[in-house]
Amino acid sequence: MSQRIVESWPGDRLPTRPRQPSPTTVTRPPDFLRNRLSANGLTTIRWDMLKDVCGCRDAGIGAIGLWQPKVLEFGEERTAELLHDASLKVSSVSWAGGFTGTNGQAFREAVWEAGETIRLAGAVGADCVVVVSGSRAGHTLNHARRLLLEALRELTDVAEDAGVDLALQPMNSMFADWTFLTRLDDAVDMLALVNHPRLKLAFDTYHLWQEPNLLEQLPDLVPLIGVVQVSDWRDPPRSRHDRVLPGDGIIPLAPILETLIGAGYQRHFDLQVWSDELWQGDYLQLLRRGRQQFESLLPRLPSAVNPLG
């Protein structure tokens, strides 16, 4: 409760109205940015689909990145109903790909499975499907590129029919067994070759923060980005599954996020933390802390707060 300050005045003067305290200016992330966070099912790898959805709601996170094995286990129709009832948006579905035979699949089989993933994404209202090319798998680099190019040209039409985007993901070279796209330019070149509005980029801060002149490149990349995946880099990493929450590592996330947002990025930021250590902990606490630390890294806008309420 505020205290009224009583001032004395001479008897021949009328009292003046007590001065009200000036509003205090604070800074906070705008609501439309705070509401763009999603939590990926790989961050909560031991939870099932129902726990993922309830955990997002309990942590104050309004969107989810779906990990396809959880959806298939829970059931596609049940998942769609659950997401609708919880009013959760879907930032992405992971993954489609492996077109080079990485997983022992023939090319046509991998393309067919990717098409099924795209149709699933359309059914649950996802923004995009994350696409991972597969490793070179014994192919020449040119042949691996041709396989990916053929798959993407076919699947972008499927994505158009489903009303979702494809988000092609480049990765750090330590994940070369996942994809031969280990540089940002490799993925951007592929987008240019396919030249389809449904083909976008999955921008993962963990994989791409060491790209040369990244901040200078980001404004031109924003129209191409389908989803931004957010985590941080432990220095040094102890394994390939050793990510940390945003703000707990050495990635300069604040300027990266500020540059993306300043250049007009309006899609989701997907909290995707692969961590042998954090996977053993309390997932609800992990999501809550992830949300809080993500919000602390967002650009701030001034707003006036009246101290009298």
Give CA–CA dist 282/278, Å, rounded: 8
State the Cα angle at 105 between 100 and 109, rounded to 5°: 100
pLDDT surpassing 60 at residue 126: yes
pLDDT tens per residue, range 151-205: 999 999 999 999 999 999 999 999 999 999 999 999 999 999 999 999 999 999 9
DSSP for residue 25: E
User: Which residue, chain included where needed, has tokens 């929450």?
Assistant: 245
Give me 304's structure tokens: 């006036």
> Which among 244, 268, 300 is positioned nearest to 56, based on CA atoms?
268
User: Which residue, chain included where needed, has tokens 């996977």?
Assistant: 279
Contacts of 97 (CB under 8 A, 6+ apart): 110, 114, 131, 132, 133, 134, 179
Per the CB < 8 A criterion, the answer to whether 44 and 55 are in contact is yes
Q: What is the pLDDT of residue 302?
A: 55
Per the CB < 8 A criterion, the answer to whether 34 and 28 are in contact is no
User: Which residue, chain included where needed, has tokens 């680099």?
Assistant: 141
Q: What is the pLDDT of residue 291?
A: 97
> Which among 80, 183, 190 is positioned nearest to 145, based on CA atoms?
190
Sketch out the chain's domains with CATH numbers: 27-302 (3.20.20.150)
Q: What is the pLDDT of residue 35?
A: 85
pLDDT higher at 102 or 37 = 37
β pairing state of 128-132 and 165-168: parallel
pLDDT higher at 138 or 33 = 138
What is the enclosing helix (H) or strand (E) of 55?
Answer: helix 49-58
pLDDT tens per residue, range 212-259: 999 999 999 999 999 999 999 999 999 999 999 999 999 999 999 999
E strands in 30-183: 37-40, 63-67, 89-97, 128-132, 165-168
What is the enclosing helix (H) or strand (E) of 225?
Answer: strand 225-230
Q: What is the pLDDT of residue 102?
A: 86
pLDDT tens per residue, range 8-47: 334 444 444 445 544 454 455 667 677 899 999 999 999 9
Give the gyration radius of the chain's Cα atoms. 24
DSSP for residue 17: P
Give me 32's structure tokens: 């439309």
